[in-house]
């Protein structure tokens, strides 16, 4: 009887990302401030210099779309033939450290989130999956960037290899 009741259980300490509700607590994250854009935007908590350009700090429960004032990072999953499978928007100075189903896990400072395909944030533990660097295919959304980094890491729950591309963290 006990075995039957445990058969459908997942880890009690780390529920599968797809089972968690989106975060309702805003996270203050950094996004690229486009050159010449006004820093007088009501969405901004603060603006600051950055080694690679200005950033706008915003309190968000979802990663915003790029617009005339801000830009976002792009995380891309691709297959072994270099075909794009899915994309996520992300904040500045983060890296993908986990993947679970249709979400990527990022960590920033002392906090960690899952991001889904619509940009919604979900709280998560700050764990990091083992990864290995791989050669990047030609992905048009990165316009031949010399800062492109690609790596393989296991899906958080299935263990299936996932291939991710992103711009390296600027410093």
Q: For 144-165, how does the pLDDT look when each residue is reduced to its tens digit (9 = 90+)?
A: 888 999 999 999 999 999 999 9
Query: Which of 25, 21, 19, 108 is CA-nearest to residue 61?
Result: 25
- 91 close to 75: Cβ distance less than 8 angstroms: no
Torsions phi, psi for 19 (to 5 deg): -95, -10
For range 79-89, the mean pLDDT: 97
Q: Enumerate the β-bridge partners of residue 106.
A: 96, 113
4 Cβ contact partners less than 8 Å away, ≥ 6 residues apart: none
pLDDT at 109: 82
Residues 6+ apart with CB under 8 A from 50: 30, 92, 170
How many CB atoms sit inside 10 A of residue 135's CB?
A: 6
Q: Which two tokens stand for residue 149?
A: 């980094």
Q: DSSP 3-state helix, strand, coil percentages of the chain (rounded to 5)? A: 5, 45, 50
pLDDT value at 49 more than 70 = yes
Instruction: Inform me whether the pLDDT recorded for 3 exceeds 50.
Output: no
Over 50: is that where the pLDDT of 128 sits? yes
Examine the pLDDT at 1 and tell me if it is beyond 60.
no
Tens of pLDDT, residue by residue over 103-118, are 999 988 888 999 999 9
Q: What percent of the chain has pLDDT over 70?
A: 89
* pLDDT for position 61: 97
pLDDT at 14 over 80: no
* pLDDT band (50, 70, 90) for residue 171: low
CA distance 165 to 88: 11
Average pLDDT over residues 96-106: 95
């Amino acid at each position: 009887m006990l075995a039957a009741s445990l058969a459908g259980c997942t880890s009690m300490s780390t529920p599968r990302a797809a089972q968690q509700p989106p975060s309702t607590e805003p996270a203050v994250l950094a996004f690229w401030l486009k050159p010449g854009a006004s820093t007088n935007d009501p969405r901004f908590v603060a603006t600051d210099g950055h080694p690679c350009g200005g950033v706008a700090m915003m309190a968000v429960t979802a990663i915003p779309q790029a617009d005339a004032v801000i830009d976002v990072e792009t995380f891309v999953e691709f297959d072994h033939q270099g075909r794009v499978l899915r994309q996520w928007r992300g904040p500045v100075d983060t890296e993908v450290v986990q993947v679970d189903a249709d979400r990527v896990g990022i960590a920033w400072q002392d906090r960690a989130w899952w991001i889904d395909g619509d940009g919604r944030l979900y709280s998560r533990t700050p764990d990091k999956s083992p990864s290995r660097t791989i050669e990047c295919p030609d992905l048009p959304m990165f316009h031949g960037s010399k800062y492109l980094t690609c790596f393989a890491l296991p899906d958080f729950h299935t263990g299936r290899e996932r291939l991710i591309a992103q711009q390296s963290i600027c410093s």
